[in-house]
Structure 1
Amino acid sequence: MTKTVILGVIGSDAHVVGITILEQALNAAGFDVINLGVQSSQQEFVDAATDHDAEAVLVSSLYGHAEQDCQGFHERVADADLEDVTTYIGGNLSVGQTDFEETKEKFQKMGFDRVFNSETDPEEAIEALRADLDIRPPESERESSRTVSV
């Protein structure tokens, strides 16, 4: 069964390269991706998750104002009865971010299930998503990861 994920850049952020790469990687991994693009509102994420019966919402922000853009996001998610939807956020989440662990903790307290920095490889996010959504990788990927001793 294909899992649907909503992907977009929140707020006034217009950085598109990261979500384009992530969209391609998620599609290649077998996910059905609904890409909202850039400058997406909280409500657009919530509406898309509802309309597409999504299992996950992936929020991107690179311009450093994610904390302001995400205030109240999980309240909107709850109001739409989407509490079971997995939520991720990633990117350059705060201006002058020096200690990512503090930033990560802040966004987890806001309700995000996982928080990634701007250096995260898309495969790491996909592995986390598979784990959180209880998805086994395709047989071809499991076979390629096996090692053979001679």
Structure 2
Amino acid sequence: MTRTVVLGVIGSDAHVVGITILEQALSANGFDVVNLGVQSSQDEFVEAAAAHDAEAVLVSSLYGHAKQDCEGFHQRIADADLEDVTTYIGGNLAVGQDDFEETRQFFRELGFDRVFDSETDPEEAIEALRADLDMRSSEAERESQSLSA
């Protein structure tokens, strides 16, 4: 079963290299990738996730302003009835970021399932995504079995 993911760079950020590498790695690993490109709005991510029945949304940001760009993002996801979509964010997420664990905690509190720094290898993110999506599929299967019982 092919898994669809939406990938893009949020806000006014124009850094394309990271998502290009990630798109190639995801595609090579069997994912169907919808690449929004750079300078994508929150609404574009949400609309693409809904239109393509995506299982995950991967947000990239390298210019250090992701905190501002992602404020309210998960509310938009909830408003679109996409609460089951797995969300990841990665990159250089905060200007002057000294302690990445603080940054990770901030984005987890915003609602992101996983938070990666700019040094993360694409394979690490893909491994995490496979695990998260398989876990979610198993939960959905158990739920549907219990509903039919």
Q: Does TM-score exceed 0.5, indicating one fold?
A: yes
RMSD: 0.7
The aligned residue for residue 62 of structure 1 is 62
The aligned residue for residue 73 of structure 2 is 73
Give the AA of the match of 1:55. Answer: E
- Report how many residues are paired: 135
The aligned residue for residue 33 of structure 1 is 33
Q: TM-score, normalised by structure 1?
A: 0.89
Work out the CA distance in 2 between the residues paired with 1:82 and 1:116.
22
Kindly indicate whether residue 71 of structure 2 is the aligned counterpart of residue 87 of structure 1.
Answer: no
The aligned residue for residue 141 of structure 1 is none
Work out the CA distance in 2 between the residues paired with 1:98 and 1:18.
21
Post-superposition offset of 1:26 = 0.1
Work out the CA distance in 2 between the residues paired with 1:85 and 1:94.
24
Gaps of 5+ in 2: 136-149
Give the AA of the match of 1:44. Answer: E
Task: Write out per-residue CA displacement over residues 30-74 of structure 1, whole angstroms, 9 at most, x where no aligned residue.
Answer: 000000000000000000000000000000000000000000000
Kindly indicate whether residue 5 of structure 2 is the aligned counterpart of residue 5 of structure 1.
Answer: yes
The aligned residue for residue 143 of structure 1 is none
Question: Percent identity over the alignment?
Answer: 83
Q: Secondary structure at the match of 2:69?
A: helix
Q: Which has the higher helix share?
A: 2
Kindly indicate whether residue 106 of structure 2 is the aligned counterpart of residue 106 of structure 1.
Answer: yes
Work out the CA distance in 1 between the residues paired with 2:37 and 2:53.
19
Q: After the TM superposition, which parts of structure 1 deviate over 2 Å for at least 4 consecutive aligned residues?
A: none
Give the AA of the match of 1:80. Answer: A
The aligned residue for residue 20 of structure 2 is 20
Give the AA of the match of 2:132. Answer: D
